[in-house]
Amino acid sequence: MRTPRKLALFLVSWSVVACSEAVTDPEVPEVNFAMAVDEDSRVVFTSNEDESYDIFMLSPFSIGLPENITITPGVDESFPALSPDRSQIAYVAGGDLWVRGVADTAQPVQYTSTPEIETHPAWSPDGTQLAFVRDGDVYVAKVALPFVAYNLTKHPSLDGDPSWSPDGNLIAFASNRSGGHGFSIYVMKIKTRAAGRITDTAGDDRYPDWSPDGMRIVFSTDRSGREDVYWVSRSGGVLHSLTNDPAVDRDPTWSPDGTKIAFVSYRSGGTGDLWWMNADGTNQSGLRQGLATYAHPDWR
Protein backbone atom coordinates (compact mmCIF):
# COMPACT_ATOMS: atom_id res chain seq x y z
CA MET A 1 0.00 0.00 0.00
CA ARG A 2 1.33 3.43 -0.90
CA THR A 3 1.83 5.78 2.04
CA PRO A 4 3.16 9.08 0.72
CA ARG A 5 4.17 11.54 3.40
CA LYS A 6 3.02 14.76 1.73
CA LEU A 7 1.55 14.01 -1.66
CA ALA A 8 -1.99 13.23 -0.57
CA LEU A 9 -2.29 16.70 0.93
CA PHE A 10 -0.92 18.23 -2.27
CA LEU A 11 -3.33 16.39 -4.54
CA VAL A 12 -6.47 17.36 -2.59
CA SER A 13 -5.42 20.93 -1.87
CA TRP A 14 -7.03 22.27 -5.05
CA SER A 15 -7.49 20.71 -7.73
CA VAL A 16 2.87 40.27 -6.71
CA VAL A 17 6.31 39.38 -5.54
CA ALA A 18 9.52 39.81 -7.58
CA CYS A 19 11.78 36.78 -7.71
CA SER A 20 15.07 38.39 -6.72
CA GLU A 21 16.94 35.16 -5.99
CA ALA A 22 16.06 33.00 -8.95
CA VAL A 23 15.66 35.06 -12.11
CA THR A 24 16.04 38.48 -13.64
CA ASP A 25 14.99 39.30 -17.17
CA PRO A 26 14.56 42.12 -19.67
CA GLU A 27 11.20 43.55 -20.65
CA VAL A 28 8.70 40.94 -21.83
CA PRO A 29 8.11 41.31 -25.60
CA GLU A 30 4.70 41.37 -27.23
CA VAL A 31 3.35 38.18 -28.80
CA ASN A 32 3.61 38.16 -32.60
CA PHE A 33 0.30 36.69 -33.75
CA ALA A 34 1.32 37.03 -37.41
CA MET A 35 3.94 34.29 -37.17
CA ALA A 36 3.18 30.98 -38.89
CA VAL A 37 1.49 28.36 -36.72
CA ASP A 38 3.15 24.99 -36.17
CA GLU A 39 0.66 22.69 -37.86
CA ASP A 40 2.72 19.64 -36.89
CA SER A 41 2.26 20.33 -33.17
CA ARG A 42 0.26 17.95 -31.00
CA VAL A 43 -1.76 18.18 -27.80
CA VAL A 44 -1.76 15.16 -25.49
CA PHE A 45 -4.32 14.88 -22.72
CA THR A 46 -6.18 12.52 -20.39
CA SER A 47 -9.74 11.55 -21.26
CA ASN A 48 -12.34 8.86 -20.68
CA GLU A 49 -13.67 8.99 -24.25
CA ASP A 50 -13.11 5.22 -24.38
CA GLU A 51 -14.54 4.57 -20.86
CA SER A 52 -11.33 4.21 -18.82
CA TYR A 53 -8.97 7.19 -18.58
CA ASP A 54 -6.41 6.92 -21.38
CA ILE A 55 -3.84 9.19 -23.00
CA PHE A 56 -4.98 10.77 -26.25
CA MET A 57 -3.14 12.84 -28.85
CA LEU A 58 -4.78 15.49 -31.03
CA SER A 59 -3.63 17.69 -33.90
CA PRO A 60 -5.35 20.98 -33.00
CA PHE A 61 -5.15 22.41 -36.53
CA SER A 62 -6.80 19.45 -38.28
CA ILE A 63 -10.35 18.11 -38.31
CA GLY A 64 -9.26 14.59 -37.42
CA LEU A 65 -10.25 12.71 -34.27
CA PRO A 66 -7.85 12.33 -31.35
CA GLU A 67 -5.82 9.13 -31.26
CA ASN A 68 -5.93 6.89 -28.18
CA ILE A 69 -2.25 6.22 -27.45
CA THR A 70 -2.39 3.93 -24.42
CA ILE A 71 -5.61 1.84 -24.70
CA THR A 72 -5.07 -0.22 -21.55
CA PRO A 73 -8.40 -1.79 -20.50
CA GLY A 74 -9.13 -1.39 -16.81
CA VAL A 75 -6.10 0.85 -16.18
CA ASP A 76 -6.34 4.62 -15.81
CA GLU A 77 -3.49 6.69 -17.23
CA SER A 78 -2.98 10.38 -16.50
CA PHE A 79 -0.57 13.35 -16.49
CA PRO A 80 0.74 12.91 -20.07
CA ALA A 81 3.85 14.81 -21.16
CA LEU A 82 4.94 14.81 -24.80
CA SER A 83 8.68 14.74 -25.46
CA PRO A 84 10.17 17.75 -27.29
CA ASP A 85 10.59 15.73 -30.51
CA ARG A 86 7.00 14.41 -30.15
CA SER A 87 8.16 10.80 -30.35
CA GLN A 88 7.51 9.71 -26.73
CA ILE A 89 4.94 10.28 -24.01
CA ALA A 90 5.65 10.11 -20.28
CA TYR A 91 2.61 9.45 -18.13
CA VAL A 92 1.37 7.97 -14.86
CA ALA A 93 -0.34 4.60 -14.46
CA GLY A 94 -0.88 2.86 -11.13
CA GLY A 95 0.98 5.67 -9.37
CA ASP A 96 4.19 4.97 -11.32
CA LEU A 97 5.95 6.67 -14.22
CA TRP A 98 5.83 5.10 -17.66
CA VAL A 99 7.25 6.14 -21.04
CA ARG A 100 6.16 4.89 -24.44
CA GLY A 101 6.54 5.89 -28.05
CA VAL A 102 3.60 7.37 -29.92
CA ALA A 103 3.77 4.70 -32.65
CA ASP A 104 1.08 2.00 -32.66
CA THR A 105 3.63 -0.76 -32.06
CA ALA A 106 5.47 0.99 -29.22
CA GLN A 107 5.62 -0.87 -25.94
CA PRO A 108 5.41 1.06 -22.65
CA VAL A 109 8.41 1.04 -20.32
CA GLN A 110 7.91 1.33 -16.58
CA TYR A 111 10.45 3.70 -15.00
CA THR A 112 9.38 3.70 -11.36
CA SER A 113 7.98 1.16 -8.92
CA THR A 114 8.05 2.77 -5.51
CA PRO A 115 5.86 2.88 -2.39
CA GLU A 116 5.18 6.56 -3.17
CA ILE A 117 2.92 7.98 -5.87
CA GLU A 118 4.59 9.76 -8.78
CA THR A 119 2.72 12.44 -10.77
CA HIS A 120 3.22 15.39 -13.15
CA PRO A 121 6.13 14.27 -15.36
CA ALA A 122 7.75 17.05 -17.42
CA TRP A 123 10.44 16.60 -20.11
CA SER A 124 13.61 18.66 -20.15
CA PRO A 125 13.96 20.71 -23.36
CA ASP A 126 16.65 18.36 -24.72
CA GLY A 127 14.50 15.29 -24.00
CA THR A 128 17.09 13.57 -21.80
CA GLN A 129 15.56 14.14 -18.34
CA LEU A 130 12.21 14.06 -16.59
CA ALA A 131 11.08 16.19 -13.67
CA PHE A 132 8.20 14.75 -11.69
CA VAL A 133 6.49 14.86 -8.30
CA ARG A 134 7.04 12.25 -5.61
CA ASP A 135 5.78 12.56 -2.06
CA GLY A 136 5.32 16.33 -2.29
CA ASP A 137 8.75 17.15 -3.74
CA VAL A 138 10.03 17.71 -7.29
CA TYR A 139 12.50 15.06 -8.46
CA VAL A 140 14.68 14.93 -11.58
CA ALA A 141 16.15 11.90 -13.37
CA LYS A 142 17.73 10.98 -16.68
CA VAL A 143 15.40 9.03 -18.96
CA ALA A 144 17.34 5.80 -18.77
CA LEU A 145 17.28 2.52 -16.89
CA PRO A 146 18.14 2.23 -14.08
CA PHE A 147 16.04 5.33 -13.36
CA VAL A 148 18.00 7.21 -10.68
CA ALA A 149 16.20 10.31 -9.41
CA TYR A 150 17.37 13.05 -7.09
CA ASN A 151 15.21 15.34 -4.96
CA LEU A 152 15.50 18.82 -6.49
CA THR A 153 13.27 20.88 -4.20
CA LYS A 154 13.70 18.89 -0.95
CA HIS A 155 11.46 21.01 1.26
CA PRO A 156 9.15 20.07 4.16
CA SER A 157 6.27 21.90 2.46
CA LEU A 158 4.44 20.67 -0.63
CA ASP A 159 6.04 21.23 -4.05
CA GLY A 160 4.60 20.11 -7.38
CA ASP A 161 3.54 20.87 -10.97
CA PRO A 162 7.09 21.23 -12.40
CA SER A 163 7.72 22.93 -15.75
CA TRP A 164 11.16 23.35 -17.39
CA SER A 165 12.26 26.66 -18.87
CA PRO A 166 13.08 26.43 -22.60
CA ASP A 167 16.81 26.82 -21.91
CA GLY A 168 16.73 23.96 -19.39
CA ASN A 169 18.26 26.03 -16.56
CA LEU A 170 15.13 26.74 -14.52
CA ILE A 171 12.10 24.89 -13.22
CA ALA A 172 8.85 26.60 -12.31
CA PHE A 173 6.70 24.82 -9.74
CA ALA A 174 3.86 25.36 -7.28
CA SER A 175 4.53 25.34 -3.54
CA ASN A 176 2.93 26.29 -0.23
CA ARG A 177 6.33 26.83 1.38
CA SER A 178 5.70 30.55 2.01
CA GLY A 179 3.58 29.81 5.08
CA GLY A 180 0.24 31.41 5.83
CA HIS A 181 -0.71 31.26 2.14
CA GLY A 182 -1.98 28.74 -0.34
CA PHE A 183 0.16 27.64 -3.27
CA SER A 184 2.31 30.16 -5.11
CA ILE A 185 4.45 29.85 -8.24
CA TYR A 186 8.19 29.58 -7.66
CA VAL A 187 11.13 29.49 -10.06
CA MET A 188 14.27 27.54 -9.14
CA LYS A 189 17.74 27.59 -10.67
CA ILE A 190 18.55 23.93 -11.15
CA LYS A 191 22.32 24.25 -10.60
CA THR A 192 22.15 26.24 -7.37
CA ARG A 193 18.64 25.27 -6.21
CA ALA A 194 17.99 28.93 -5.40
CA ALA A 195 14.23 29.49 -5.56
CA GLY A 196 12.17 32.67 -5.65
CA ARG A 197 8.44 33.21 -5.43
CA ILE A 198 6.95 35.02 -8.42
CA THR A 199 3.27 35.06 -7.35
CA ASP A 200 1.62 35.69 -4.01
CA THR A 201 -1.99 35.04 -3.04
CA ALA A 202 -4.10 33.84 -0.16
CA GLY A 203 -5.55 31.29 -2.60
CA ASP A 204 -3.83 28.79 -4.85
CA ASP A 205 -1.66 29.34 -7.93
CA ARG A 206 -0.99 26.06 -9.74
CA TYR A 207 0.04 24.36 -13.00
CA PRO A 208 2.71 26.74 -14.37
CA ASP A 209 3.86 26.39 -17.98
CA TRP A 210 6.67 28.35 -19.66
CA SER A 211 6.17 30.27 -22.88
CA PRO A 212 8.42 29.04 -25.70
CA ASP A 213 10.52 32.23 -25.54
CA GLY A 214 11.10 31.71 -21.80
CA MET A 215 9.77 35.15 -20.87
CA ARG A 216 6.31 34.33 -19.48
CA ILE A 217 4.73 31.72 -17.24
CA VAL A 218 1.05 30.88 -17.61
CA PHE A 219 -0.73 29.31 -14.63
CA SER A 220 -4.09 28.61 -12.98
CA THR A 221 -5.28 30.57 -9.97
CA ASP A 222 -8.37 30.85 -7.78
CA ARG A 223 -7.44 34.31 -6.47
CA SER A 224 -10.71 35.76 -7.80
CA GLY A 225 -12.81 33.14 -6.01
CA ARG A 226 -12.88 30.81 -9.00
CA GLU A 227 -10.16 29.22 -11.11
CA ASP A 228 -8.91 31.31 -14.03
CA VAL A 229 -5.85 31.40 -16.28
CA TYR A 230 -3.25 34.15 -15.82
CA TRP A 231 0.27 34.84 -16.99
CA VAL A 232 3.19 36.57 -15.31
CA SER A 233 6.73 37.49 -16.28
CA ARG A 234 9.26 34.86 -15.26
CA SER A 235 10.65 37.30 -12.67
CA GLY A 236 7.24 38.12 -11.21
CA GLY A 237 5.51 41.48 -11.16
CA VAL A 238 2.18 42.35 -12.74
CA LEU A 239 -0.30 39.50 -13.19
CA HIS A 240 -2.27 39.36 -16.44
CA SER A 241 -5.72 37.73 -16.49
CA LEU A 242 -6.46 35.69 -19.61
CA THR A 243 -9.82 34.13 -18.71
CA ASN A 244 -12.68 35.63 -16.73
CA ASP A 245 -15.58 33.21 -16.82
CA PRO A 246 -17.86 32.09 -13.97
CA ALA A 247 -16.84 28.50 -14.71
CA VAL A 248 -13.52 26.85 -13.86
CA ASP A 249 -10.59 27.40 -16.27
CA ARG A 250 -7.34 25.58 -15.46
CA ASP A 251 -4.38 23.48 -16.67
CA PRO A 252 -2.99 25.93 -19.28
CA THR A 253 -0.32 24.90 -21.81
CA TRP A 254 1.42 27.04 -24.45
CA SER A 255 1.51 26.19 -28.14
CA PRO A 256 5.08 25.62 -29.44
CA ASP A 257 4.98 28.90 -31.39
CA GLY A 258 3.80 30.89 -28.37
CA THR A 259 0.71 32.33 -30.05
CA LYS A 260 -1.96 30.16 -28.40
CA ILE A 261 -2.78 28.54 -25.07
CA ALA A 262 -4.85 25.39 -24.56
CA PHE A 263 -6.60 24.86 -21.24
CA VAL A 264 -9.34 22.89 -19.50
CA SER A 265 -12.66 24.66 -18.99
CA TYR A 266 -15.87 23.65 -17.24
CA ARG A 267 -17.97 26.36 -18.88
CA SER A 268 -19.87 23.81 -21.00
CA GLY A 269 -21.13 21.77 -18.06
CA GLY A 270 -20.03 19.52 -15.22
CA THR A 271 -17.04 17.90 -16.93
CA GLY A 272 -13.84 19.50 -18.14
CA ASP A 273 -13.49 20.27 -21.87
CA LEU A 274 -10.49 21.25 -23.95
CA TRP A 275 -10.49 24.91 -24.95
CA TRP A 276 -7.94 27.18 -26.56
CA MET A 277 -7.33 30.88 -27.05
CA ASN A 278 -4.82 33.37 -28.36
CA ALA A 279 -1.95 34.04 -25.97
CA ASP A 280 -3.49 37.43 -25.10
CA GLY A 281 -6.78 35.78 -24.03
CA THR A 282 -8.79 36.62 -27.16
CA ASN A 283 -10.73 34.18 -29.36
CA GLN A 284 -11.55 31.64 -26.65
CA SER A 285 -13.32 28.60 -28.10
CA GLY A 286 -13.83 24.88 -27.57
CA LEU A 287 -11.22 22.53 -28.99
CA ARG A 288 -12.73 19.25 -27.80
CA GLN A 289 -15.90 19.42 -25.73
CA GLY A 290 -19.14 17.73 -24.69
CA LEU A 291 -17.97 14.17 -25.31
CA ALA A 292 -16.13 13.14 -22.16
CA THR A 293 -13.95 14.48 -19.35
CA TYR A 294 -10.62 16.06 -20.34
CA ALA A 295 -7.61 16.91 -18.17
CA HIS A 296 -3.87 17.58 -18.12
CA PRO A 297 -3.27 18.90 -21.66
CA ASP A 298 0.32 19.26 -22.86
CA TRP A 299 1.04 21.00 -26.18
CA ARG A 300 4.31 20.37 -28.02
Taking the domains of the chain in order of start, what are their residue ranges? 7-22+36-299
CA 31 to CA 232: how far, in whole Å?
14
Q: Is pLDDT of 45 > 70?
A: yes
Whether the per-residue pLDDT at 14 is higher than 50: the answer is no
- What is the per-residue pLDDT for 274? 96
Q: What is the pLDDT of residue 32?
A: 53
37 — pLDDT class (breaks 50, 70, 90): low
pLDDT of 291: 82
Instruction: Examine the pLDDT at 9 and tell me if it is beyond 70.
Output: no
46 - beta bridge partners? Answer: 55, 295
Average of per-residue pLDDT across 114-132: 97
- pLDDT value for 178: 86
For residue range 73-100, list pLDDT tens digits in order.
788 999 999 999 999 999 999 999 999 9
pLDDT over 90 at 30, yes or no: no
pLDDT score of 2 more than 80: no
Q: At residue 12, does pLDDT exceed 50? A: no
- pLDDT band with cut points at 50, 70 and 90 for residue 137: very high
The CATH code belonging to domain 7-22+36-299 is 2.120.10.30
CA atoms of 167 and 291, how far apart (whole Å) = 37
Confidence of residue 62 (pLDDT cuts 50, 70, 90): confident
| Residues in a beta bridge with 210 | 217
Say if residue 11's pLDDT is above 80: no
Position 31 scores a pLDDT of: 56
